[in-house]
Chain A
């Protein structure tokens, strides 16, 4: 099976989970090509070559600096024709999700969306994915060509720099009129770690209520020391303690870090739907009966206003930070 992997860029930077899609393809076959679309992407192209794609198709154009469904889709269709790939893989980011769905719709092909595992079965891809918010797992196959799958961020090992070489093919941008006009771009503060890409997350919940500002300051301090992202439960978001983009759970983000520290979070099923796949879960809660302890590996039954600063202190002492 020949793969084409979509390497997502944003204003010239790679979206890191793209390397996981490349890693998945390389683990399934030795006929792996990649497509990089964006502007000022020479560094990303070089990285894609080094990480083992055999051929890298490059569409570099000012109009591609930001993801544009119409333009990027037209480019991908062009490259699929040139490559003749049997399978198309992308990371299940918001843009990857949209691109794969549009490609499937246009080609009359199904999509294995948000796959947790992927294998090749004859001339078909076979994925494992969660339905009912991860409460049921299923094997999924799809009809149509190409075989299309999007991969859950952090569920697959990233392709590493192997010092490999590859053909680089420069492709003209497809002539596609976009209906979208971007009027403004606002970005998160630099240094803020993305929840879906984070290997460590420190989250706060209702337990910060007696002083929400201080509570999240303490959580941010610990997150800063650990290079972690800051998360929150729905209760904390709905109470206005922190903004929605930090929400983890059913109506927020689904995450799978190596370490998830839940501070003052009771552990409602809707929260577990968002973080239940974390490798190690730490619960810090005043109530030793809180349901979060039933999914946690480690716990401290205590007040987060005391335990979190103590953790920061211990991290400074033991990690020399």
Chain B
């Protein structure tokens, strides 16, 4: 079976606070870019599918040329192939349109795996939109893949406070969370090999679709108001500090 992992190149989470409104508005970021941490989990899930049930796992992203670095990380972790769909302007609906076209072109994909959300766009909407565009079922917030066979895929989903075991027929889209397991480190030899791979690049035209028109419009990029917090420290014995703290919290009306 063929598994395709959709990834995105996003800022290193440690550097997110450094992003300025101007950078965010232009999309030209000066911070270090890496594989979206949720997508590292998707890669891990895709690789585990290949190891457990056989088949081939590839990676795909929508982005500019620089996003090839993210694909090389996926190759270094163990993905067998990688594809860049070149487009830097699409919103989440446009990215889904391009990915859906790429999945169809790929041919016999049985499972598309994505991370649960991205640390830049923060919508968590991509797996669902992609599945609707493909006409496939979608299983979001997947903590564990229980079984995969010709009949379908069975997973455990974390939904609210509940854990649901759900089965869906193939092909299907699956979005994973952290419980799927720690992403593996790329081996030295795989990093070397990945660096030499020529990553194929496709455009919307190659995929036979129009470049998507955005339906989500963002404006007035700004920093959130700074926390008005000058910390008030309570000293003395733990009992004294605790008593004074509880008084302060009662005065704030948060207890």
Bound together:
yes
Q: Inside 8 A of B19's CB, which chain A residues have their CB? A: 132, 135-136
Q: How far is the CA of A258 from the CA of B120 in the complex (A)?
A: 26
Whether a CB of chain B sits under 8 angstroms from the CB of A97 is yes
Nearest CB of chain A from residue B23's CB, rounded to whole Å: 9
Residue interface bits B118-140, CB-to-A below 8 A is 1, else 0:
01111111001101110001111
Whether a CB of chain B sits under 8 angstroms from the CB of A207 is no
Do the beta carbons of B242 and A299 come within 8 Å of each other?
Answer: no
Cβ-neighbour of A133 out of B13, B129, B165 (below 8 A): B13
Q: Which residue of A lies closest to B15 (CB)?
A: A269
Q: Inside 8 A of A83's CB, which chain B residues have their CB? A: none
Cβ-neighbour of B120 out of A69, A132, A295 (below 8 A): A132
Q: Inside 8 A of A252's CB, which chain B residues have their CB? A: 178
Q: Which residue of B lies closest to A106 (CB)?
A: B132
Nearest CB of chain A from residue B15's CB, rounded to whole Å: 8
Do the beta carbons of A182 and B165 come within 8 Å of each other?
Answer: yes
Whether a CB of chain B sits under 8 angstroms from the CB of A226 is yes
Whether a CB of chain B sits under 8 angstroms from the CB of A319 is yes
Q: How far is the CA of A262 from the CA of B196 in the complex (A)?
A: 46
Q: Which residue of B lies closest to A135 (CB)?
A: B16
Q: Inside 8 A of A95's CB, which chain B residues have their CB? A: 159-160
Q: How far is the CA of A113 from the CA of B128 in the complex (A)?
A: 13
Q: Inside 8 A of A182's CB, which chain B residues have their CB? A: 164-166
Q: Which residue of B lies closest to A250 (CB)?
A: B13
Do the beta carbons of B13 and A245 come within 8 Å of each other?
Answer: no
Of B49-57, B106-114, B184-192, B211-219, the one touching chain A: B211-219
Cβ-neighbour of B37 out of A97, A105, A250 (below 8 A): A250
Q: How far is the CA of A200 from the CA of B101 in the complex (A)?
A: 45
Main secondary structure of the interface of A (DSSP, over half): mixed
Cβ-neighbour of A136 out of B13, B91, B222, B249 (below 8 A): B222
Q: Inside 8 A of A110's CB, which chain B residues have their CB? A: 91, 93, 214-217
Q: Inside 8 A of A174's CB, which chain B residues have their CB? A: none
Nearest CB of chain B from residue A189's CB, rounded to whole Å: 9
Do the beta carbons of B137 and A94 come within 8 Å of each other?
Answer: no
Q: Inside 8 A of A302's CB, which chain B residues have their CB? A: 238, 241
Whether a CB of chain A sits under 8 angstroms from the CB of B233 is yes
Q: Inside 8 A of B131's CB, which chain A residues have their CB? A: 102
Cβ-neighbour of B254 out of A69, A102, A269, A280 (below 8 A): A280
Of B58-66, B69-77, B224-232, the one touching chain A: B224-232
Whether a CB of chain B sits under 8 angstroms from the CB of A311 is yes
Of A38-46, A53-61, A141-149, the one touching chain B: A141-149
Do the beta carbons of A306 and B13 come within 8 Å of each other?
Answer: no
Whether a CB of chain B sits under 8 angstroms from the CB of A307 is yes
Q: Which residue of B lies closest to A258 (CB)?
A: B254
Beta-carbon contacts under 8 Å, B136-164 to A: 137-141, 143, 154, 158-164
Whether a CB of chain B sits under 8 angstroms from the CB of A247 is yes
Whether a CB of chain B sits under 8 angstroms from the CB of A164 is no
Q: Inside 8 A of B229's CB, which chain A residues have their CB? A: 281, 294-297
Do the beta carbons of A141 and B219 come within 8 Å of each other?
Answer: yes
Do the beta carbons of A318 and B247 come within 8 Å of each other?
Answer: yes
Beta-carbon contacts under 8 Å, A118-135 to B: 129-135
The interface of chain A, by Cβ under 8 A from chain B, is 10, 15, 66-67, 69-70, 93-95, 97-98, 100-102, 104-106, 108-114, 129-144, 179-188, 192, 194, 199-200, 226, 244-245, 247, 250-252, 258-259, 268-270, 273, 276, 279-283, 288, 293-303, 306-307, 309-311, 313-315, 317-319
Q: A140-B216, A181-B167, A186-B165 are in contact. List 11 more A-B contacts (CB 8 A).
A: A102-B131, A102-B132, A104-B215, A105-B133, A109-B215, A131-B122, A132-B119, A134-B122, A138-B220, A273-B16, A281-B227
The interface of chain B, by Cβ under 8 A from chain A, is 11, 13-14, 16-17, 19, 21, 24, 37-38, 91, 93, 96, 119-125, 128-129, 131-133, 137-141, 143, 154, 158-169, 177-179, 214-224, 227, 229, 231-235, 237-239, 241-243, 245-250, 252, 254-255
6 contacts between A and B (CB under 8 A): A10-B162, A95-B160, A106-B132, A140-B218, A179-B168, A306-B238
